[in-house]
Amino acid sequence: MTTTSTEKTGARNDEAAALIGDARERIDALDDRIIGLIQERMAVSAVIQEARISSGGRRVNLAREMEVLGHFRDALGKPGTALAMTMLELCRGRI
């Protein structure tokens, strides 16, 4: 049995299904870019952590993390804090 575009998207007509399909492709492309940027951020964070540790410092700078959390919260509201926490968790301890 073949699934139609309206069934796949939940749309009620072909025009809406096409719009949703196109928008989903764009979202998938954006998600790929976001994942790439997070991976890049993880690599840069590892460089910073390595430099900090090799100079006798701590792996994590809590004051800096608070700045990042505030930046995300200011830009995206309360959910931005959760997003930043997840991102920071991904970027910690890769050394």
Q: In the structure, what pLDDT confidence band is assigned to residue 7 with cuts at 50, 70 and 90?
A: confident
Instruction: Please state the pTM of the whole predicted model.
Output: 0.84
DSSP letter at 2? P
* Residue-level pLDDT at 94: 53
The pLDDT tens digits for 23-71 are: 999 999 999 999 999 999 999 999 999 999 999 999 899 999 999 999 9
Q: Which two tokens stand for residue 11?
A: 């749309």
Cα–Cα distance between 49 and 47 in angstroms, integer?
6
**Does residue 87 contact residue 41 with C-beta atoms inside 8 Å?**
yes
Q: Which residues contact 88 (CB under 8 A, 6 or more apart)?
A: 65, 68, 69
**Does residue 59 contact residue 52 with C-beta atoms inside 8 Å?**
yes
Helix (H) or strand (E) holding 78, with range, is helix 78-91
